[in-house]
Structure 1
Amino acid sequence: MKLMNVKNVEKLFETVNKCNGKVELVGDDIQLNLKSKLSQYFSLAKLFSDGEIPELELVTTDPDDNALLMRFMMDNNSEM
């Protein structure tokens, strides 16, 4: 699942923490478990430089988590 133009990173991580299964950030040479606080901080440092993340590729193991993340994108991805 791709998330585009993520502006509210804090709310994204709150949503990820509510997911039941694994949520992993994947890239060309990286795969991070976003349910880990350390990975969340690492991903912020690595990806979040302009106040917005243009694109994230996430892999989830629970179909309900996909719906939760889609709801985040539709409802809660506004600037704080």
Structure 2
Amino acid sequence: MAATERIIFQPYVWRKSGRRTILEPGAAIACRDADDALRRIEKVREGLLSVAGAHAVRMSVDEEAGDYGEPEVLGSVGDVPGEVD
């Protein structure tokens, strides 16, 4: 199977852990295309989605070979981890 392009909307949420508050990933959402992912980013920016922040990421994936390309951040908003690796 050849590599395919995947576009993911990755939200992040704050979670209490004892006395600390931790930023952690929420459930990733597969998007139809880059515009769909960027629309979701805008909804976070406008306060319509209740998350701490989010990334929209595109990457090439060949699941049969176990090959995952470098992620390309299409957009981000709010509280997100520093680097996407």
TM-score, normalised with respect to structure 1: 0.31
Q: Which has the higher contact order (CA 8 A, sep 6+)?
A: 1
Computing the radius of gyration over CA atoms, which structure comes out larger, 1 or 2?
2
More strand by share: 2
